[in-house]
Amino acid sequence: MKAPKAAAIAFVLLVSAVSAWAQYQGKIVGRIVDPEGRPLEKAEVTIVSQRSSNLRYDLKTDKDGRFIQVGLVPGYYMVTVKKSGFVPASTEVHVGIAEQQSPEIALKSAAAEAEKSYSAADKAFLKGNKLFAEQKYAEAAAAYHDAIGLDPANWGYHLNLGLALKKAGQADEALAAFTKAAELNPASYSANKEAGEALARAGRHAEAKTFYEKAVALSPDDPDAQFNLGVCQVNLGESEAALPHFEKAVELKPDFADAYYQMATILIGQNKVPEAKAALEKFLALAPEHEKAGIARQLLDFLKK
């Protein structure tokens, strides 16, 4: 007779966990209009997380030009809009904990007479975007280079160049593009995040730390931003300072397995055995097949002796 009771308790815990996580999620409620401010129906809207391109949502606007996406993990998202007869447009949107963002995006007409008003830099940039979407990264990078040559102060051109170069496997050139983008627009989460990651991959952790700190300042409720800064600090021998960032990461994302592992290794060094055991157990529960699961089990067995 005890099994049903245990199952009921497990169900209540699951519902409570889901309910608690739902409180963190935000939403984007946007509106797409034409140059005169009139709503555009059936515009194609794509929302992609700046943390992971796997977090992607494809929507269409209603007759009032509106779209809505709920259940968004806190962080930065790139909202891209397309509609036949209009020029595609993108904007970076930050969604906080339980926060609603309401961007309004006005699309420019793609009529021939309007097309003539585009600068040569705009045309090169749009060409690069098209090639990038076709996964022709080297050709996209060449087009972005052309755009930068015509308008070197446009931070977005440098950011997209870095993304294309990263995809093309040109790490050093991508790093240069990302750092330039961050220099031109210090308030861009994407530019600071990409510059930090590129420096970290190159083993230049002290330099990466500056960009990661900026990314955390811009988006403190982004679990990946907190985690990246923590890992960078660990690599610099600053484990004590890193721990709060891993703790914040799991607070924001309760299933962040790697953050629990990092926490455990720091807690072991601090001789906080109960806390370390709890972190290792949580890590193994979340990721039993993880590449570090074997080490985690050995550490847990040692701590239990």
φ and ψ of 154, to 5 deg: -85, 110
> Which domains, ranges and CATH numbers included, belong to the chain?
23-109 (2.60.40.10)
CA 107 to chain centre: 25
- Per DSSP, 44 falls in state E
Q: pLDDT by residue for the chain (305 residues), tens digit each?
A: 444 544 443 433 343 443 444 455 789 999 999 999 999 999 999 999 887 767 889 999 999 999 999 989 888 888 999 998 888 888 889 988 888 999 999 998 876 445 555 678 888 999 999 999 999 999 999 999 999 999 999 999 999 999 999 999 999 999 999 999 999 999 999 999 999 999 999 999 999 999 999 999 998 988 999 999 999 999 999 999 999 999 999 999 999 999 999 999 999 999 999 999 999 999 999 999 999 999 999 999 989 87
Q: What is the pLDDT of residue 1?
A: 43
Report the pLDDT value the prediction gives residue 53, as an integer from 0 to 100. 65
Structure tokens at 303: 């701590």
**Closest Cα to residue 178, out of 162, 199, 190, 201?**
162
**Are the C-beta atoms of residues 144 and 112 closer than 8 Å to each other?**
no
Instruction: Give the span between the Cα atoms of 152 and 155, in whole angstroms.
Output: 8
Q: Which of 35, 40, 46 shows the shortest CA–CA distance to 111?
A: 35
Query: Tell me, what's the pLDDT at 118?
Result: 65
256: phi then psi, degrees, rounded to nearest 5: -80, 85
pLDDT at 15: 38
Dihedral of CA atoms 60, 65, 68, 69 in degrees, nearest 10, equals 40
Please give the pLDDT value at position 240.
Answer: 95
pLDDT at position 20: 43
Specify the pLDDT at position 12: 38
**The predicted structure's pLDDT at residue 258:** 96
pTM attached to this predicted model? 0.68
**pLDDT of the residue at 9:** 39
Structural contact between residues 188 and 182, judged by C-beta atoms closer than 8 angstroms = yes
